[in-house]
Structure 1
Amino acid sequence: MSKPAYVYVIYVHGTPQELYRALTDPEYVAAYMGGTGPRSDWQVGSPVDWKMDPNGAFHDYGQRVLVAEPGKLLSYTWHPLQPEHRTIVGIESDEEFAAAATERSQVTFTLEEAEEPSAGSKLTIVHDGFDSPQSKMLRAVSLGWTMILCELKTVVERGGPQAARPS
C-alpha cells in the first residue's frame, strides 16, 4: 500500500524553463512566497535551506536536492515538523509533536508543455511519503502548496518578480 500524497496540477502561461526559474530563483521565490521559502544552489545533494519568517534567517532543516533538471524536474526532501510549526499545524501535546516530528516526505515538481499549446505549461506537484492520511504535515502542505502555486502562476504570468502589479 502506498503512502498518502498531495498532488496538484496547475497550468501557467509560461515555458517549463520559466517555471523552473520561478521555483529556483531567489527573487521569484521571494515574490510569490512573501519573502519566505527555499534557497539552494539546486545541485543534486545540496542543502535546501528554508526561511520561515520574511524578517528571519535561512535555516538548514535537513532538506536535500534529489533531482534538478532545469525545465523538466525538481525534487527535494522535505523537513520534518519543527517547533515553530507546532502551532501552525495544531499540535498541542508533546507526545503528538514527538511522533509527528519523525515523519519525512519529499516534494517533486514536474514541468512540461501543456497538452494544448494555448494553455502554456503544466506544472505538477507531488508531495508524498506521509505516514498516514491524518498526517499534520500533509494537511499543512495541502493548503500551503495550493496557495503558493497560485501566487507562482500570478508572478510568472505578470512577467516576473519585477513586473508591476495591475492597479
Structure 2
Amino acid sequence: MAGNYVATSTVTIDAPQPRVWQVITDPAAVKEFMFGTELMTDWNVGAPIVWRGEWDGKAYEDKGEILEFAPGQRLVHTHFSPLGGQKDAPENYHTLTWTLEDEAGKTRLTLSQDNNDTAAAAQHSQGMWDQLVAGVRKIAERA
C-alpha cells in the first residue's frame, strides 16, 4: 500500500523568484544541482519528464509526468526511479511539488515528495532533497 509520509525540504534563497524558477527549470542548472542528471521535458502539463544519469556506477532513467506548471510559482510532477528496486507501477510513483514564495525579495523554495512508505523512507528522501535545494540556492545566489 502507498505510504502517507511526506518528505519536505525548504530553503530561503537570496534571489528573486524568477531567478530561482530559471534555475529549477534550466537543463544545464538541473545537471549541476541534480548530480549530473540530463533533464528532458517540454514543460507542458501532461508531458513526460525524464532524468538520465549515472549513480554509483549504474546508468538510470527516472521518469514522470508534468502535472502543474505555473511559472515562477509552482511546479508539480510525478517521479519514478528504478534505482529504488520497485516495479514501474502507479503506486510506486511519488509526486514532487516545488513551491516558490516571495519573502521580501528573497525566495522561499519548498520541495515536497509524497508517497513514502515509512517515516524513515521520508527522512532518507528529505536528506537527498536537502542537498538538492541547497544546490539550487548556490546556483541562484551566484548569478
Give the equivalent residue in structure 1 for 2:134: 150
C-alpha distance in 2 between matches for 1:108 and 1:13:
21
Instruction: Check whether the contact 2:99–2:111 (CA below 8 A) recurs between aligned residues.
Output: yes
The amino acid across from 1:107 in the alignment is L
Q: Structure 1 length normalisation: TM-score?
A: 0.71
TM-score by length of 2: 0.81
Deviation string, structure 1 residues 81-125 (Cα, Å, up to 9, x no partner)? 41x445xxxxxxxxxx56xx95221100111101xx26x111111
User: Structure 1: 5+ residue runs without aligned partners?
Assistant: 87-96, 160-167
What is the percentage of aligned positions where both structures have the same residue? 22
- Is the Cα contact below 8 Å between 1:24 and 1:39 reproduced in 2? no
RMSD: 2.8
Aligned length: 139
Distance 2:28 2:22 in 1: 10
Structure-2 residue corresponding to 1:124: 110
Structure 2 unpaired stretches of 5+: none
Is the contact between residue 77 and residue 104 of structure 1 (CA under 8 Å) also seen in structure 2? yes
Superposition pairs of residues 1-167 of structure 1, within 5 angstroms? 3-36=4-37, 38-53=39-54, 59=61, 61=63, 63-79=64-80, 81-82=81-82, 84-86=83-85, 102-114=91-103, 117=104, 120-135=106-121, 138-159=122-143
- The CA distance in 2 between the partners of 1:40 and 1:6, in whole Å, is 24
Aligned-residue offset at 1:133:
2.5
Once superposed, which parts of structure 1, at least 4 consecutive aligned residues long, lie more than 6 Å away?
54-58
Comparing both structures, which one devotes a greater share of its residues to strand?
2
Give the distance between the partners of 2:53 and 2:125, measured in 1 at CA. Answer: 14
Which residue type is aligned with residue 110 of structure 1?
T
Which structure's CA Rg is the greater one? 1
CA contact (8 A) 1:24 1:40 kept: no
Q: How far is the alpha carbon of 1:78 from its aligned partner? A: 1.3
SS of the residue 2:138 aligns to: helix
Q: Quick one: distance in 2 between partners of 1:37 and 1:5?
A: 26
Name the CA distance, whole Å, in 1 between partners of 2:34 and 2:28. Answer: 10
Residues 47 and 66, structure 2, Cα contact 8 Å, conserved in 1:
yes
